[in-house]
Homo-oligomer: A and B are copies of this chain.
Amino acid sequence: MKEILRDIGAIARALDSISNIEFKELDLTKGQYLYVIRICENPGIIQEKVAELLKVDRTTASRAIQKLVIKGFVDKRFDAHNKKNKHLFPTEKSLALYPLLKREGDYSNERALDGFSDEEIDCIHHLLERVRHNIEIDWDYVKKGQQRHY
């Protein structure tokens, strides 16, 4: 059987490692850049959805965002009509940072796809979307405490 998961894991760890090193000087510690980018691109989003986008635990997102609020990267606003949801907004500080974060991500993407034709880029893009969708199903299932049978 053709194995793709190990490559995906290694690629993801390598890229995360690179970004963490590069963003250290921006006062963003491990993983925080992920949240800043998502909140900049989805102002008003709630924590639960951020965790779902990133596929991290709800508690991890909770604490990461707490830190970002303290550091002044994120604003947490309460909904007038809903006492439970807390909407997240980027501050001026993150908005100013966003272009740099985006450029780094784009650069990594270009580097990752170095030597790929337009057709190949299209192809891997679509295939990965399908993998993501497939895996989301199992993630939701296992995260809810269900057992997979293998």
- Report A's interface with B, CB cutoff 8 A: 1-5, 7-18, 21-22, 34, 53-57, 103-116, 120-125, 127-132, 134-139, 142-143, 148, 150
Residues of chain B contacted by A57 (CB below 8 angstroms)? 17
28 A-B pairs within 8 Å (CB atoms) are namely A1-B109, A2-B109, A2-B113, A3-B109, A4-B121, A5-B15, A5-B112, A7-B129, A11-B131, A12-B13, A13-B56, A14-B55, A14-B135, A14-B138, A14-B139, A15-B135, A17-B56, A18-B139, A22-B148, A108-B138, A111-B137, A112-B131, A113-B131, A115-B130, A116-B127, A120-B127, A123-B127, A124-B127
